[in-house]
Amino acid sequence: MNKSGLVAEVAKRADKNKADVARVLDHAMAVIREAVIKGERVSLVGFGTFERRRRNRRVGRNPRKPEVVVPVPARDVPSFAPGQAFRQAVSTRGRRSPAKRGKASSKRRVSKR
């Protein structure tokens, strides 16, 4: 699902027009983005937490030429950690039977010659 799909679904469920929902979503994302840029944590109970994390500087290597060393500077990155309710909802709803996952069935195939 992309942003327009999300807007359409929220508009349908809330019985609002798409333009209003799109504006609210844009403002919500802007507030979250600005808070994370400032270094604040944004916690949505039951959904998850957005925050800024620091990646330390490190040494990178070219896999084709391992002797070539490239310094990778430290930087800040956005991070999202799903909340417990969200994780549980995904783990229980996403289960499929082994046959649907592509595992071999227990029945043996008999070749006809």
Binned at pLDDT 50, 70 and 90, residue 22 comes out as: very high
Strands 69-72 and 58-61, by their bridges, are antiparallel
Q: Are 37 and 52 in contact (CB under 8 A)?
A: yes
Distance of CA 3 to the CA centre of its chain: 14
**Residue 86 pLDDT:** 94
**Residues 6 or more apart whose Cβ sits within 8 Å of residue 43:** 49
User: What's the sign of the alpha-carbon dihedral 32, 36, 38, 41?
Assistant: positive
3-class secondary-structure state, position 82: strand
Domains and CATH numbers, the chain: 1-38 (no CATH), 41-94 (4.10.520.10)
Q: Which whole number is the average pLDDT over 23-43?
A: 97
Distance of CA 11 to the CA centre of its chain: 22
pLDDT, tens only, 39-81: 999 999 999 999 999 999 999 998 898 888 999 999 999 999 9
Look at the block and give the residue holding tokens 């609002």.
16
Answer with the residue of higher pLDDT: 108 or 50: 50
Give the percent of the chain with pLDDT over 90: 75
**Residue 110 pLDDT:** 57
Alpha helix (H) residue ranges in 39-104 = 84-93
Binned at pLDDT 50, 70 and 90, residue 32 comes out as: very high
